A and B are shown apart, each in its own frame.
Chain A
Amino acid sequence: MESVILQIAARHMRPLLIILSVIVLYRGHNEPGGGFIGGLMLGAAYILYAMAFGVGKTQNRILFSPINLTALGLLIALLSGVPALLSGMPFMTGEWVTFFANSAFELKLGTPLLFDVGVFFAVAGMLMLVMFSIMEE
């Protein structure tokens, strides 16, 4: 079933949802949000696209296959613990770096955020993997 309304909506919603998912991911450390919810939104963006255009076409559009995206997420989450090991602290000890401190664009990056990025990809990949195989049936 091809619906023009759905297709146009999906085409415009996809970049919007992706940007929003990244925002949700970033604010998640101190405010509602985080890697899991962000990952769900990222996955939803592509699932909506797949509903409108079909699974095959969607899979051509994404750089990583869903299973690889999940594995990548796990790898990033794992790596987020490593900086602590290098500085001799127990695994997963949080390390933070602040850019542009005390300005309007203060940007705090740290290993917990990196962990969240890992969760973000892992959840999105898993969601796509499950939904795509159900939709292909």
Chain B
Amino acid sequence: MILILPIILPLLFMVILIFTRRWLFFQQAFSLLASIGLTVLAALLLKQVYIDGATTLQMGSWPAPYGITLISDLLAAIMLLTTSFVAVVVMIYSPGFIDRERQTAGYYPLVFGLLMGVNGAFLTGDIFNMYVWYEVMLTSSFVLIALGGSAEQLRGSIKYVTISFVASIFFVAAIGILYGQAGTLNMADLAYKMRTWENMPYINGALMLFFVAFSVKAALFPFFFWLPASYHTPPVAITALFAGTLTKVGIYTMFRFYSLFVVQDVLFWKIFLLVIAGLTMSVGVLMAASQFDIRKILSFHIISQVGYMVMGLAIFSTNAIAAAIYFTIHNMLSKTNTFLAGGLVYQRSGSYDLKHLGGLYKTAPFLALLFFIPAMSLAGIPPLPGFFGKFFLIKGGFEAGDYFITAVAIAVGLFTLFSMVKIWNEAYWKKAPDGETGNGKVGTSAIAATAVLAAAVVLLGIFAGPVMEISQQAAIQLADPYHYIEAVLNISSK
């Protein structure tokens, strides 16, 4: 019962917000309350799953594997909670940042459309249904990225829409092959058949197509180019929401698919993912180092950080997966936070270009602090969560004996520090180039939202122990696919 609510409540909220789209204040207040409600709901779900193990629901009473199954294990519940929290913060931020015209043009209903798609993708246990949720999520994001219709946004959104469609083609093609081979798309049923059938041909081909589809969405190495070309165009609140939710859905799906479906040629997939992870990390961070627009630096960093998550997945020991899950939580919060802080800089100085910025440390020390926390967290300075995430990942890498990728991860960490310090030096520390720092009005709610998120980042670092403990449980569930299979089907693993 509680499983269906994270999907239908956003739909209900969206409908209400469409009917009331002219009343700006109602939209703002209602969206905030609604997203807080979703967060509470996700927390309840996490608690329930933590106590009882994976929970399932058969939509419309059609039994698995014939109907659509909704299932939440710990990983899904964790992702759900983090996403909802990011949404709350963005909802606090938006009234103080996004212009009135965009806010009444359907910004709030679209955010809930996006949330519905994201939540659906986390909770579904059926591959075709997952494709549908991806489309719900992408369609909302298409409109959000073009909302307002400035020339720059349209340029960015054309690239984004085109590449997303291509990825969807790969997704559907893979689904078609899989359905033709196995005759089922229920994920648990499929995983079970892959383990029990003597030989299932073309599985690696289908998985590779899936990999292409998800790596486009998660912005992995050869398919990341669309992200820095489009993410910096909409207002930064929208970018922050995308950075905190959209790319992470791709990562979540990869975790799910890897644990359930990679049965044949495990070694090939491991090496393949390790290479991809290493290249994603290093290419992302190197390209970030050469940028001078805050939003572009941060966009390239999304790519580099996603590499860390894939690294944890590729190693696939319990510790490494747990570290990757913790890292994902940290990244969703810290990344969103840096984008929001970048937005504050823009409001204050009227520019995102590091060459024109400067002196903010002196004139706006609080804004500087709000950027400093998440930036140092991303760079991996203790006691912030980025440090623990990287530490556990690297530890997991050493334990598993994957020394090369671990070395790459450490080196990339250094470069991350370099580009965070670069933003810090240029925007906050150096003297303003024109002698003026700008004195734009910074929205109160925007500052409040950034502060709330920065506090959450700090707390995630302080409570790294308990969070890591939950991640560890989630990793144990993920490493044992029968936990998932048995929750959906009435099959005993022995």
A positions within 8 Å CB-CB of B: 67-68, 70-71, 74-75, 78, 81, 84-85, 89-94
Contacts and interface: CB of A to CB of B under 8 A. Distances in A.
Contact of A91 (B8, B14, B15, B19): B8
Q: Interface size bucket, B side?
A: 10 to 19
A42 B8 CA distance: 27
Residues of B contacting A: mostly: helix
Given A84-B60, A90-B58, 18 more contacts: A70-B18, A71-B15, A74-B14, A75-B12, A75-B15, A78-B12, A78-B15, A81-B4, A85-B1, A89-B61, A90-B1, A90-B4, A90-B57, A90-B59, A91-B8, A91-B59, A91-B60, A93-B61
Contact of B60 (A68, A71, A78, A92): A92
A112 to B, nearest CB: 9
Interface in B1-48: 1, 4, 8, 11-12, 14-15, 18-19, 21
Nearest to B18: A71
Nearest to B17: A71
Contacts of B12: 75, 78
5 contacts: A75-B15, A85-B1, A91-B8, A92-B60, A93-B61
Contact of A67 (B8, B18, B59, B61): B18
Residues of A contacting B: mostly: helix
Contacts of B8: 78, 81, 91
Contacts of A70: 18
Nearest to B60: A92
Contacts of A89: 61
A74 B59 contact: no
B4 A91 contact: yes
Nearest to A85: B1
A83 B61 CA distance: 13
Interface string B254-290: 0000000000000000000000000000000000000
Contacts of A74: 11, 14-15
A125 to B, nearest CB: 10
Nearest to A71: B18
B19 A71 contact: yes
A39 B23 CA distance: 29
Given A74-B11, A78-B12, A94 B60 contact: yes
Contacts of B57: 90-91
Contact of B19 (A68, A78, A90): A68
A71 B18 CA distance: 7
A55 B40 CA distance: 45
A70 B14 CA distance: 11
A85 B57 CA distance: 12
A74 B4 CA distance: 16
Most chain-B CB neighbours within 10 Å: which of A67, A89, A92, A94? A92
A51 to B, nearest CB: 26
A89 B67 CA distance: 14
